[in-house]
């Protein structure tokens, strides 16, 4: 596709009836996945600063911290409910200390009430099916979620980590407002079908991990000090076979950013947002400074040639390793893209 240069700007992008800035906030790492979570005070400060800086889309899930992240978001932002678009996810939760995918209608009807209580609200603006349950046709899961809309518990529906074919099947049951898939310079799966399908159907493509799970931030993860429970320890792109080669590619991107007067996060986020006016990104961070750096891309003009150069350096062909290990990939419905192993 043709790259569009210039700044994304503070102009709104649309998710269903909601107008949001092109960058929202992914809240996962305030409670989940990346080692030791920040203190409650630091997490609260991050959320409130995001609100002050103009973020309106806050993205959480029942899975994150096995409910703890929804509780955090609810506690901190319930008093500002009329200022935000609140997104959460169902269909993948913590049960007995383990992650469980369950898209059965009765489960989704029960867990939405649990989510509403944790979030301290009477309605969730955007509710995603977090993962497709292979035992349950997507039509059944989305049909149950459509019932939540009818009951006034949810305003709009989304899907996460699914293919273009699944998106179309779901959309035929009930309008899908947003598709949240991983999308970044090194994760190009949406380009195999969902980016175009979303555009055709009027669906927002919400990019999670647009900074490549911290790889394209100011300081890439140091494998020597990653906590044992950090999810990147099980991702091939961060293992000892592939990480050095990926770091070399990162060095080339840094040169492109430096020559253009950009930071690497600005370049990486600018590239994602240039993929289309229906693309919204939800980077996560635990740092107020990094939050502000990320948001600065909305006011940063980036020439199309710079974005194209970045895309040639790091892409599905040049990246080393798959985005997930094989066991996790079998749980995900998206089109595969990039190297394996």
Q: pLDDT class for 4, splitting at 50, 70, 90?
A: low
User: Is 189:335 a contact under the CB 8 Å cutoff?
Assistant: yes
The predicted pLDDT at position 32 comes to 85
pLDDT of residue 283: 98
The pTM of this model reads 0.95
Q: Looking at the predicted structure, is the pLDDT value of residue 106 above 60?
A: yes
Nearest CA to 182 among 253, 282, 275? 282
Mean of pLDDT over the chain: 95
The alpha carbon of 334 is separated from its chain's Cα centroid by a whole number of angstroms, namely 14
Residue 1 has pLDDT above 60, yes or no: no
pLDDT at 9: 64
Per-residue pLDDT tens over the stretch 324-338: 999 999 999 999 876
pLDDT higher than threshold 70 for residue 3: no
Q: What is the pLDDT of residue 5?
A: 65
* pLDDT tens per residue across span 168-180: 999 999 999 999 9
| pLDDT tens sequence across 19-29 | 999 999 999 99
- Confidence grade of residue 97 (pLDDT, cut at 50, 70, 90): confident
Query: Are 205 and 232 within 8 A, CB to CB?
Result: no
What is the predicted pLDDT for the residue at 17? 96
CATH topology for 13-329 is TIM Barrel (3.20.20)
For residue 162, give the nearest of 191, 203, 130 by alpha carbon: 130
Note whether 257 and 177 are within 8 A (CB): no
C-alpha to C-alpha distance for 232 and 235, rounded to whole angstroms: 5
177 CB-contact burial (10 Å; exposed 0-12 / middle 13-18 / buried 19+): buried
Could you tell me which of 113, 122, 203, 114 has the C-alpha nearest to residue 155? 122
Q: Which two tokens stand for residue 86?
A: 């609140």
- pLDDT at 273 (0 to 100): 98
Percent of the chain scoring above 90 in pLDDT = 90
Domain ranges of the chain: 13-329
pLDDT of residue 12: 85
Average pLDDT over residues 150-167: 98
pLDDT value of position 336 = 86
The CA angle 283-44-71, to the nearest 5 degrees, is 85
Angle at CA of residue 211, ends 15 and 125, nearest 5°? 25
Pairing assessment for the beta strands 98-101 and 92-95 based on DSSP bridges: antiparallel
With a cut of 70, say whether residue 6 has pLDDT above it. no
pLDDT at position 36: 85
Other Cβ atoms closer than 10 A to 36: 9
Non-local (6+) Cβ contacts of 172 within 8 A are 139
- Which tens digits make up the pLDDT trace of 231-272? 999 999 999 999 999 999 999 999 999 999 999 999 999 999
Q: Which active-site residues does the annotation give?
A: 64
* pLDDT for the residue numbered 188: 97
The residues near 41 (Cβ < 8 Å, ≥ 6 apart) are: none
């Amino acid at each position: 596709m043709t790259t569009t240069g210039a700044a994304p700007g503070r102009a709104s992008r649309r998710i269903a009836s909601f107008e949001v800035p092109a960058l929202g906030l992914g809240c996962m790492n305030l409670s989940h996945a990346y080692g030791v979570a920040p203190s409650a005070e630091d997490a609260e400060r991050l959320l409130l600063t995001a609100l002050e800086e103009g973020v309106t889309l806050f993205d959480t899930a029942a899975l994150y911290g096995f409910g703890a992240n929804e509780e955090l978001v609810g506690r901190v932002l319930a008093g500002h409910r009329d200022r935000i678009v609140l997104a959460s996810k169902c269909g993948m939760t913590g049960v007995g200390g383990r992650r469980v995918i369950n898209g059965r209608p009765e489960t989704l009807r029960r867990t939405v009430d649990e989510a509403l209580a944790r979030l301290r609200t009477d309605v969730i603006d955007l509710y995603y099916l977090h993962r497709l349950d292979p035992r349950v046709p997507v039509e059944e899961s989305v049909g149950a979620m459509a019932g939540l809309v009818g009951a006034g518990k949810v305003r709009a529906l989304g899907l996460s980590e699914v293919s273009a074919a699944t998106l179309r099947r779901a959309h035929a049951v009930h309008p899908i407002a947003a598709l949240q898939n991983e999308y970044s310079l090194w994760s190009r799966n949406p380009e195999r079908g969902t980016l175009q399908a979303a555009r055709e159907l009027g669906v927002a493509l919400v990019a999670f991990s647009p900074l490549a799970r911290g790889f394209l931030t100011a300081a890439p993860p140091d494998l020597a000090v990653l906590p044992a429970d950090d999810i990147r320890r099980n991702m091939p792109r961060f293992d000892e076979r592939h990480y050095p080669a990926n770091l070399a590619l990162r060095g080339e991107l840094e040169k492109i950013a430096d020559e253009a007067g950009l930071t690497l996060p600005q370049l990486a986020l600018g590239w994602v947002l240039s993929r289309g006016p229906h693309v919204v990104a939800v980077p996560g961070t635990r740092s107020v400074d990094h939050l502000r750096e990320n948001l600065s891309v909305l006011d940063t003009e980036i020439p199309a040639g710079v974005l194209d150069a970045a895309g040639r350096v790091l892409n599905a062909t040049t990246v080393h390793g798959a985005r997930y290990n094989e066991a996790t990939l079998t749980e995900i419905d998206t089109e595969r893209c990039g190297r394996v192993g």
